[in-house]
């Protein structure tokens, strides 16, 4: 089975401090990168809209992603209500350039 990639767009809720939201996201990333099923967890901030972020995640499988959502650090982040979900994409590698080749 191929790895599960996730691209999620989130934005800081109105009235929330962007820097504090960044700090909370950073703490989430540190904890997430230690999860056994995580391969990558990268946070990108939009240049022209600093209240908007994209999360790029890679998991060994669906079960690992579901365990992430249930993890205490993830639930704690959600409970703080720093951001709202704008979109989420579940992706797999298309391998259009040949096995093992990355563009």
> Is 101's pLDDT higher than 70?
no
- pLDDT for position 102: 58
Provide mean pLDDT across the span 19-25. 98
Please provide the average confidence, as pLDDT, over all residues in the chain. Answer: 94
Provide mean pLDDT across the span 86-99. 85
- pLDDT for position 98: 66
Structural domain boundaries in the chain: 4-91
User: What is the largest distance, in Å, between two alpha-carbon atoms of the chain?
Assistant: 47
Among 55, 52, 51, CA closest to 5: 55
The pTM assigned to this predicted structure is 0.86
- pLDDT for position 56: 98
Structurally, at CATH architecture level, domain 4-91 sits in 2-Layer Sandwich (3.30)
Q: Can you list the alpha helix ranges (DSSP code H) found in the chain?
A: 18-32, 62-70, 72-80
């Amino acid at each position: 089975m191929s790895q599960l990639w996730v691209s999620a767009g989130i934005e800081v809720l109105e009235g929330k401090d962007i820097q504090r939201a960044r700090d909370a996201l950073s703490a989430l990333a540190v904890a997430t990168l230690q999860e056994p099923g995580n391969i990558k967890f990268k946070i990108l901030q939009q240049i022209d809209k600093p209240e908007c972020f994209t999360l790029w995640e890679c998991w060994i499988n669906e079960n690992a992603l579901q365990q992430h959502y249930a993890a205490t650090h993830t639930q704690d982040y959600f409970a703080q209500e720093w951001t709202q979900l704008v979109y989420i994409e579940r992706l797999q590698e298309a391998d259009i350039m040949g096995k093992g080749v990355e563009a």
